Each structure stands twice: as C-alpha cells, then as structure tokens.
C-alpha cells in the first residue's frame, strides 16, 4: 500500500506537467492555424475584388479575428467560477478531515484551496469591467 501511494505521489506531478505542456502546444498550434485562416480569407477577399483598404486590419492573433478572444468579462467570469469551486473544495476537504479525526488539526489543509479561491474572487473583482 505504501509503495502504491509513493508511486501515485510521483505520477500526479508528472501527469500535470505533461498535461500543461501539451495544452500550451495545442494552443500555440491552434492560434497559428487561426492566423493562417484569417490570412487566407483576406487573400480570397482581395482576389474577389474587395479593396484592401476596406478590409479590417489584421489582428495580432487569429483568435480576435473570429471573436474568440477573451474579453475582460469572460476572464472575470472564469476567475469567479474558479474561485467559487476552490472555496467549495477547500471547505469540503476541511470538513472531511475534521470529521475523520476531530482531535487532529489536519482540517487546516482545506484552508489552502479555500484561500486560493478567495484570491481568485478578488482577482475577478479587479478584472471585472466597469460600467460605462
């Protein structure tokens, strides 16, 4: 049992690192593909006789060209949802650990994700777009 726990404790970070790197690579490739599609669409419009001066300027990346870019409101919603989930997870961990052994103070471990969730909620409030 101890060997399984030790092996599992090494597998989790490895999977997280490989997953993070994989997500970054996929995102870069996707952005490159979107930029390529924007340029092809622009060339096709020019070939059909559209005046290049009437076409919108090329965006910095293809995501904004298709309206897929992250607005401040979308970013704030992501932070809000992440914060609420982490607060719930932290409270759940604290409650479970407290009910398993009330004499020990292991329940304090649950405060770490709860505090990170609180920080995300504060970040959400900072990023939230102001009403104009």
Q: What pLDDT digit, counting tens, does each position of 36-49 carry?
A: 888 898 888 889 88
Please give the pLDDT value at position 85.
Answer: 92
Nearest Cα neighbor of 69 from 40, 121, 30 is 30
Spell out, as residue ranges, where the chain has pLDDT lower than 50.
61-63, 65-68
Please give the pLDDT value at position 116.
Answer: 92
- Tokens found for residue 85: 């989930």
Please give the pLDDT value at position 62.
Answer: 43
Please give the pLDDT value at position 119.
Answer: 92
Please give the pLDDT value at position 115.
Answer: 92
Domain ranges for the chain, please list them.
1-69, 70-132
């Amino acid at each position: 049992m101890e060997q399984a726990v030790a092996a599992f404790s090494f597998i989790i970070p490895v999977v997280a690192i490989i997953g993070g790197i994989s997500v970054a690579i996929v995102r870069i490739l996707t952005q490159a593909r979107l930029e390529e599609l924007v340029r092809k669409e622009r060339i096709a419009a020019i070939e059909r006789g559209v005046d290049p001066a009437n076409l919108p300027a090329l965006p910095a990346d293809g995501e904004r060209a298709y309206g897929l870019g992250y607005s401040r409101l979308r970013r704030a919603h992501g932070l809000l949802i992440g914060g609420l989930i982490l607060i719930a997870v932290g409270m759940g961990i604290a409650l479970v650990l407290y009910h398993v052994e009330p004499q020990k103070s292991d329940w304090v471990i649950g405060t770490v994700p709860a505090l990170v969730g609180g920080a995300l909620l504060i970040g959400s409030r900072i990023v939230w777009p102001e009403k104009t």
